[in-house]
Structure 1
Amino acid sequence: MTHQPPEFTEALAAVLRDLRVQGPVQPDVREEDDYPGVMLFAPDGSGHGVYAEPDGRPAVLLAEVAGQVQGWAVEALWAAGVSAVWPQCPEHPDTHPLRATVEKGAAVWVCPRSGAVACRVGELGLGG
C-alpha cells in the first residue's frame, strides 16, 4: 500500500494479522484509484471498502479499522459456508464474535456479553 497514511497502514496490518491467525478466509487487499482506503475482496469476488481518517487517536483508528475488517470477514465467511463468527469469542465459541473497542487507551477485542477483554487488536493468538 503506497497511497495510505502510515497510521492507517499500521492499523490495517495489525487487523489483518489477527485475521490471518484466526480466519479461514483471507482478503485480496487492493488500492483503488477512486477510493481513499483499501478494498478487501473475498474469494467470491465481492468487495468491501475499509478506511478511517487518522485523527491523532491511534487506538480509535485501530478499533475503527478492526470493525470494518470484521464486517468484511463475517460476510466472506458466510459466503464461504463456514461459521460467520470472527474473531471467535474464547468465552462463547461459535455464538458471537468479539467486538473491537477502546479501553484504557488501547484498541481491544472484548466479549459483547461479559465485557471481558480477550486481547489487544493485533494480538489474537498471542495469549492475551
Structure 2
Amino acid sequence: MDPELVAALQPILKDLAGPAGVLPEVRDEPWQDFEGTASAILYAADGSGTGVYIHLGVPFCAQVAPLADQVQDWAVEALCALGRSTSWPPCPEHPDRHPLRAVEHAGRAVWACPVTGVEAGEVGTLTT
C-alpha cells in the first residue's frame, strides 16, 4: 500500500479503535487509477467494502481530513450493521444528535462539531 495512504490512515484507525468505533480490515486493493492518488478498500465484518483514497503529495492534513470523512462513512455503515450507534465519532456537545466532522484547521486535521464548529481534538487523539 502506498506509504502516504498508510500514514494518513494511522490516526483515523487509532480513533476507530476507541470504544465507540469499529475497525475495518484494510486491504491493499486499489479501486481507482486517477493520477496522483492512492486507494484501498475497507472491509467490514459482514464482508461489505468501501473504497477510500487520498491525493498524493499534498499536506498531511489535506490527506487526513478528507480521508477521515470517507472512513467515517464506512464506520457509520459498519456500526449500523452491528446494531450500534452510528454517531461516530460522537459529538461531546450533542452526543445523541450527530457525529463530529473532520475538517482542516490551522494546518491540522481535527474533529469538530458540525453545528458550533468547536474542535473536539485532532484526528488520532480521540478517546471515545
What is the correspondence of 1:85-96 to structure 2 with a 5 Å cutoff?
A: 85-96=87-98
Checking the alignment, whether the CA contact within 8 Å between 2:72 and 2:88 is kept in structure 1 is yes
3-state SS of paired residue (2:74): helix
Q: Which residue, out of 34, 42, 45, partners 2:44?
A: 42
3-state SS of paired residue (2:104): strand
Q: Does 1:30 pair with 2:27?
A: yes
Aligned residue in 1 for 2:5: 8
Range with greater deviation from structure 2 (53-62 or 74-83): 53-62
Aligned residue in 2 for 1:54: 56
1:16 and 1:123 mapped to 2: Cα distance? 11
3-state SS of paired residue (1:73): helix
TM-score (norm 1): 0.88
Give 1:11 shift: 1.0
Q: What's the RMSD between the two structures over aligned residues?
A: 1.7
Runs (4+) off by over 3 Å: 33-36
Q: Which residue, out of 72, 95, 107, partners 2:74?
A: 72
- The size of the alignment, in residue pairs, is 123
- What code does the residue aligned with 2:127 have? G
Q: Does 1:101 pair with 2:103?
A: yes
Checking the alignment, whether the CA contact within 8 Å between 2:21 and 2:75 is kept in structure 1 is no
Give 1:94 shift: 2.3
The unaligned stretches of length 5 or more in structure 2 are: 33-37
Checking the alignment, whether the CA contact within 8 Å between 2:88 and 2:100 is kept in structure 1 is yes
1:116 and 1:33 mapped to 2: Cα distance? 35
TM-score (norm 2): 0.88
The unaligned stretches of length 5 or more in structure 1 are: none
Checking the alignment, whether the CA contact within 8 Å between 2:24 and 2:43 is kept in structure 1 is yes
Range with greater deviation from structure 2 (104-113 or 14-23): 14-23
